[in-house]
Amino acid sequence: MAELASPAIATGAPPGRFTEFWHSYAQSRGALIGLALVVMLVLLAIFANVVSPHPPNEQYRDFTLAPPAWDEGGTSRFLLGTDPVGRDILSRLIHGTRLSLLIGVISVAISLGLGIVLGLTAGFFRGLIETVIMRVMDVMLALPSLLLAIAVVAILGPGLINAMYAIAIVLLPHYVRLTRAAVIAEAGREYVTSSRIAGAGALRLMFSTILPNCAAPLIVQATLGFSNAILDAAALGFLGLGAQPPTPEWGSMLSSALEFIERAPWVVTFPGLAILITVLAFNLMGDGLRDALDPRLKR
Partner 1 sequence: MSLLDIAGLTVKFGTDADPFIAVDDVDLAIDEGEIVGIVGESGSGKTVMALSLLGLIDFPGRVTARRMNFAGHDLRGIGNRERREVVGKDIAMIFQDPLSSLDPCYTVAHQLMEALAVHGTPRERASRAARRARALELLQQVEIPDAEARLNAYPHQLSGGMAQRVMIAMAISCQPRLLIADEPTTALDVTVQAQVLDLLLRLQRERAMALVLITHDLAIVAETVHRVIVMYAGQQMETGPLPEVFETPAHPYTQALLAALPENNRDHARLRAIPGVVPGAHDRPTGCLLSPRCRYAVARCHRQELGLMGPPGRGARCHFRLDAQGHPTGNWQAERSAGAAVPT
- Interacting residue ranges for partner 1, rule: CB under 8 A: 12-14, 17, 189-191, 193-199, 201, 209, 212-213, 215
CB nearer partner 1, residue 5 or residue 13: 13
Output 9 or 147, the one with its CB closest to partner 1. 9
Q: Which is nearer to partner 1, 27 or 193 (CB)?
A: 193
- Of 278, 248, 238, the closest CA to residue 150 belongs to 238
Q: Which residue number, 55 or 212, has a Cβ lying nearer to partner 1?
A: 212
- Chain centroid to Cα 78, Å, comes to 30
Q: Which is nearer to partner 1, 23 or 54 (CB)?
A: 23
Whole-angstrom CA distances from 247 to 55, 99, 159, 160 are 12, 9, 10, 9
CB of 295 to partner 1, least distance (A): 9
Measured CA to CA, the distance from residue 218 to residue 293 in angstroms comes to 10
Nearer of residues 15 and 245 to partner 1, judged by Cβ: 15
**What is the closest distance, in whole angstroms, from the C-beta atom of residue 111 to partner 1 in the complex?**
23
Residue 56 or 119 having the CB closest to partner 1: 119
Q: C-alpha distances in angstroms, 219 versus 1, 108, 139, 178, 226?
A: 28, 11, 25, 11, 11
Q: Is the separation of the CB atoms in 78 and 58 below 8 Å?
A: no
SS3 readout for 43-75:
HHHHCHHHHCCCCCCCCCHHHCCCCCCCCCCCC
Identity at 232, one-letter amino acid code: D
Q: Are 53 and 91 in contact (CB under 8 A)?
A: yes
Q: Phi and psi dihedrals of 82, rounded to 5? A: -125, 165
Instruction: Identify whether the C-beta of residue 65 lies closer than 8 Å to the C-beta of residue 59.
Output: no
- Sequence-distant (6+) residues with CB within 8 A of 274 are 93, 96, 97, 100, 250
Q: Report the alpha-carbon distance of residue 237 to residue 259 in Å, rounded.
A: 16
CB 98, CB 86: distance < 8 Å: no
